[in-house]
Structure 1
Amino acid sequence: MKKSTTPFYDILGISSATICLVHCLVFPLLTVLPLGLSHNSFIDLLFATMGLFAIFKIIKKTSILISSILIISMALIWISVLTELFLDIHLDLIFIGGVGMIIGHLFNYKFHKNRNH
């Protein structure tokens, strides 16, 4: 029996979205400390790219509900990241998208786990 790699992509997506969310929540607090840190939008772009790679692998093999959650969440993240990168405007959509990505990957992981057992 061939083992599917979907759980790997779910774990990658959950990890990436969680790290991104922690980065987005904690980093602004660190910038007020005199550590010489400044925000780099390319880090957000890296997280968004990792998440995009994970959902492309997942949406082909999952339900329309989970695919919709992941696609909408990723769209919110990309809108926020690109707006900050090109217009230097910070949107809070990235937080909503990050939480949505975590939820979508958790749902897919549970759905996949229940389907295979």
Structure 2
Amino acid sequence: MKKTATPFYDILGISSATICLVHCLLFPLLTILPLGISHNPYVDLFFALMGLFAVLKIIKKSTRLVSGILIISMALIWISIWSEILFDIHLDFIFIGGIGMIIGHFLNYKSHKKTHS
């Protein structure tokens, strides 16, 4: 069970970060179209909670580099989301954090795969 737990959380983290990044990149284009869609920062909050769950499970067992990348990326995402919810200010930190999350989970997945091969 322990051998499959970390790759599962890495795949969950990569998936949620990628979906969130696609959402953040494509959503502004959808608001241009007259579809009546408005931005809801609580969707971003949902993705951040999924990512936080995966990050908390991974940082205990990963290297300092991977833990640092994931923690900094998660902090950037949370700062961006809360600034939008509380102050209605959109920060681009969420894009940097999303890319960092993908990179951090990918590095952890690769290092975990090498040690258990």
Q: TM-score, normalised by structure 2?
A: 0.98
In structure 2, what is the Cα distance between the partners aligned to 1:56 and 1:2? Answer: 15
Residue 61 of structure 2 is matched in structure 1 by 61
Residue 38 of structure 2 is matched in structure 1 by 38
Q: TM-score, normalised by structure 1?
A: 0.98
- State the Cα distance separating 1:3 from its structure 2 match: 2.7
Question: Kindly, what percent of the aligned residue pairs are identical?
Answer: 73
Residue 85 of structure 1: SS of its match in structure 2?
A: helix
Residue 113 of structure 1 is matched in structure 2 by 113
- State the Cα distance separating 1:4 from its structure 2 match: 3.7
Residue 60 of structure 2: SS of its match in structure 1?
A: helix
> CA RMSD, aligned part only?
1.0
- State the Cα distance separating 1:104 from its structure 2 match: 0.2
Superposed CA offset, 1:31-76 (max 9, x none): 0000000000100000000000000000000101100000000000
Unpaired stretches in structure 1, ≥5 consecutive residues? none
Residue 90 of structure 1: SS of its match in structure 2?
A: coil
Residue 86 of structure 1 is matched in structure 2 by 86
Unpaired stretches in structure 2, ≥5 consecutive residues? none
Residue 10 of structure 2 is matched in structure 1 by 10
